Amino acid sequence: MHNRIRKKTLLTSLSVLLFLMLFVPESLAERMSEILPAGWADQLCLQAQASDTITLRVCNWEEYIDLGDWDEEETIELPSGDIIGENSMVEDFEEWYYDTYGKRVKVEYSTFGTNEDLYNMLTLGDVYDLVCPSEYLIMKLMAEDALVPLSDDFFDTAQENNYYSRGAAPFIRQMFENSEIGGEPWAKYAAGYMWGVTGLVYNPEIVTREQASSWKILADPEFARKVTIKDNVRDAYFAAVGAIKSDLLTSEEFRSDPDYAKNLEREMNDTSPEMIEKVQEWLKGVKDNVFSFETDAGKADMITGKVAVNYQWSGDAVYTLDQADEDDYTLCFAVPEESTDIYFDGWVMLRSGIGNDADRQHAAEAFINFMSRPDNAIRNMYYIGYTSVISGGEDPRMFEYAQYCYEAEDDEEETVEYDLSYFFSGDPENADGEYVIETPADQLERQLYGQYPPADVIGRSSIMTYFNDEQNERINQMWINVRCFDIRRAPWWSWILILGTLVLVGRYLIIRRLRNKGR
> Which CB, 239 or 264, lies closer to other proteins?
239
> Which CB, 69 or 456, lies closer to other proteins?
69
Compute how many other C-beta atoms are within 10 angstroms of the C-beta atom of residue 72: 6
> Which CB, 205 or 486, lies closer to other proteins?
486
Sign of CA dihedral 404, 406, 407, 410: positive
Q: Which helix (H) or strand (E) holds 399?
A: helix 397-406
> Which CB, 14 or 48, lies closer to other proteins?
14
Give the shortest CB-51-to-other proteins separation in angstroms: 24
> Which CB, 181 or 297, lies closer to other proteins?
297
Give the shortest CB-126-to-other proteins separation in angstroms: 8
Question: Are 162 and 154 within 8 A, CB to CB?
Answer: yes
Q: Which of 122, 163, 217 is nearest to 380 (CA)?
A: 163
Compute how many other C-beta atoms are within 10 angstroms of the C-beta atom of residue 311: 27
> Which CB, 24 or 358, lies closer to other proteins?
24
Q: Which helix (H) or strand (E) holds 119?
A: helix 115-123
> Which CB, 121 or 444, lies closer to other proteins?
121
Give the shortest CB-497-to-other proteins separation in angstroms: 6
Give the shortest CB-388-to-other proteins separation in angstroms: 22
Give the shortest CB-123-to-other proteins separation in angstroms: 8
Give the 3-state secondary structure of 249-260. Answer: HHCHHHHHCCCH
Give the shortest CB-392-to-other proteins separation in angstroms: 31
Give the shortest CB-64-to-other proteins separation in angstroms: 15
234-247 burial string, b = 16+ CB within 10 Å, else e? bbbbbbbbbbbbbe
| Residue 290 per-residue DSSP state | -
User: Could you give the CA distance from residue 310 to residue 323 in angstroms, rounded to a whole number?
Assistant: 14
**Interface ranges with other proteins (CB under 8 A):** 4, 7-8, 11-12, 14-16, 18-19, 22-23, 25, 28, 32, 35-37, 39-40, 43-44, 110-113, 116-117, 120-121, 124-126, 225-226, 287, 290-300, 304, 306, 473, 476, 479-481, 483-488, 490, 494, 497-498, 501, 505, 509
What is the distance in angstroms between the CA of the first residue and the CA of the last residue of the chain? Answer: 46
User: Could you give the CA distance from residue 377 to residue 365 in angstroms, rounded to a whole number?
Assistant: 15
> Which CB, 109 or 155, lies closer to other proteins?
109
Give the shortest CB-99-to-other proteins separation in angstroms: 30
Report CA 380 to chain centroid distance, whole Å.
15
Give the shortest CB-364-to-other proteins separation in angstroms: 22
Q: Which of 134, 183, 97 is nearest to 364 (CA)?
A: 97
User: Could you give the CA distance from residue 54 to residue 72 in angstroms, rounded to a whole number?
Assistant: 33
User: Could you give the CA distance from residue 455 to residue 68 in angstroms, rounded to a whole number?
Assistant: 33
> Which CB, 36 or 84, lies closer to other proteins?
36
> Which CB, 248 or 504, lies closer to other proteins?
504
> Which CB, 316 or 400, lies closer to other proteins?
316
Give the shortest CB-172-to-other proteins separation in angstroms: 28
User: Could you give the CA distance from residue 180 to residue 224 in angstroms, rounded to a whole number?
Assistant: 41
Q: Which of 417, 424, 350 is nearest to 391 (CA)?
A: 424
| Residue 211 per-residue DSSP state | G
Q: Which of 408, 13, 368, 435 is nearest to 194 (CA)?
A: 368
Beta strands in 351-441 (DSSP E): 387-388, 415-419, 436-440
Give the shortest CB-82-to-other proteins separation in angstroms: 29
User: Could you give the CA distance from residue 296 to residue 114 in angstroms, rounded to a whole number?
Assistant: 12
| Residue 216 per-residue DSSP state | G
